[in-house]
Structure 1
Amino acid sequence: MLSVQQLHVKGRRDDLLPSTSLHAARGELLLVCGTAQDQRTALALTLSGRMKPSSGELRWDGRGGARAVRRASALMDSPGVNEPEQHLSVRDLVTEDLALIPRRYRGALLSKPWLKVNRFEDIAGLWTEQLKPGRRTELLTALALANPETDLLVVDSPDRHSADPTDWLPRLERLAYDDGRPLAVVVTVSAFPEDWTGPAAMIGNSVHLSAPQESRILETEDAK
């Protein structure tokens, strides 16, 4: 389980990440809403152990510190961090990402057979900028899970590619609730899907709430 208490990152002037608390267990998909992209990215980087928080507590399976969570996590499609370069071919992207897998698991992983086994041969010759949002999500999640140590998937703002949640949400739900390999999946979003009733939290809100509760808070704040 990922457990976060009062996680906070100072910025040069304003807080890069206001104090935020949340938790996500294996077999759970958590949506975390924040209106600012830099805050969503800061949260994604911190939750995956790629950025050191200024204060707060971050724990994975009871172990504290960024090292434990970084080893268990994969950060996916974070803008300005590890999103695929637009003028990179899918084949080259796969080659680069497979090379990042720990050597003891890498074996003979090569892009051509990997693309075939995972049924991405139809897009192998495309540039990453040509990928449709749904296919992009399928490809990047498959690459993230090529590392068998990945138990926590942190996805940064998939809704920036498509306002239609059906382009990314069903795939992430299937991964979270997969009986064979249940994952803790945390997804930062600019807004909750209208019909979302699953686990949810707000950046800057230290209370782990359901989506309907979050909506009531937002409505109250808008009315002020």
Structure 2
Amino acid sequence: MRIVLDAVAKGRAQRALPETTTSFETGRATLVVAETEQRPTVLGLVASGRMKVDTGSVLIDGRADAAAIRRRVALVDAPVVSEPEPNVSVTGVVAEELMFAGRAPTPFAAARWLEDIGLAGIGTLPVGNVEPAARVRLLLELAVLRKGVEGLVLVAPDRHGGQPDAWWRIAREFADRGYAVLVIAGQASRTAVDALELAEVDR
């Protein structure tokens, strides 16, 4: 699967989203820059087929099909739109997603699932108190529980703090597992990720 955003923009004078071009595809993690409070979410909605653009195009495998993008791409942790309520416990969030995935939505099942993904012990924490990298892993793992998900659009993980290399490595892990991953973050994160990848090449 390959999704291409070609010169997409939104809003009067492109205030909601200035012209942006990027793409993401199966087996690869891509980072695209969007800054200010609103623009990362707008770009995430566009990239996941959930918002029409005013100019430009969004294509999946060479065709315009927003419904197919919505079915196949999960929008993860977008402020206001898809982020979990910060005061809800991790167990509560996991149980709800297990229910949507057709699995037992019990506290025991949630605890077992958290153990399976290496996050045992955080179940009683409010989601808003979860360490940044663990939050990214948690929410991406929950997203791929949904049937038919092939792509992930992760919105502004840098807003929670932590080191960009931590959540970027997790994004690449999901790409290695066969997902198309788009991460939307700020310019400072772009600089940090570029430095990380350059250091890896130089090793």
Q: Report the TM-score, using the length of structure 1 for normalisation.
A: 0.77
Q: Which residue of 1 aligns with 2:192?
A: 194
C-alpha separation in 1, matches of 2:95 and 2:193? 38
Does 1:171 find its partner at 2:166?
A: no
Q: Which residue of 2 aligns with 1:148?
A: 147
- Residues 3 and 86 of structure 1: is their aligned pair in 2 closer, same or farther, counting only changes over 3 Å? same
- Residues 124 and 32 of structure 1: is their aligned pair in 2 closer, same or farther, counting only changes over 3 Å? same
SS in 1 for 2:38: helix
Q: Report the Cα offset of residue 158 of structure 1.
A: 0.4
AA at the equivalent of 2:135: R
Q: Percent identity?
A: 29
SS in 1 for 2:194: coil
AA at the equivalent of 1:82: S
C-alpha separation in 2, matches of 1:115 and 1:32? 34
C-alpha separation in 2, matches of 1:95 and 1:55? 40
Cα root mean square deviation, aligned? 2.2
Q: Report the Cα offset of residue 17 of structure 1.
A: 1.1
Residue by residue over 1:21-71, the C-alpha shift from the partner in whole angstroms, topping out at 9 and shown as x without a partner, is 211111111111122231111100111112121232111223313211111
Alignment counterpart, residue 183 of structure 1, candidates 156, 179, 182 = 179
C-alpha separation in 1, matches of 2:45 and 2:196? 23
C-alpha separation in 2, matches of 1:65 and 1:198? 35
- Residues 118 and 127 of structure 1: is their aligned pair in 2 closer, same or farther, counting only changes over 3 Å? closer
- Residues 64 and 19 of structure 1: is their aligned pair in 2 closer, same or farther, counting only changes over 3 Å? same
Q: Report the TM-score, using the length of structure 2 for normalisation.
A: 0.84
Instruction: Compare the two structures and name the one with the higher helix fraction.
Output: 2
Q: Report the Cα offset of residue 141 of structure 1.
A: 0.7
Q: Which residue of 2 aligns with 1:217?
A: none
Gaps of 5+ in 1: 200-210, 212-224
Q: Which residue of 2 aligns with 1:110?
A: 105
C-alpha separation in 2, matches of 1:198 and 1:10? 34
How many positions carry a matched residue from both structures? 191
Contact 1:138/1:171 (8 A) holds in 2 = yes
AA at the equivalent of 1:108: R
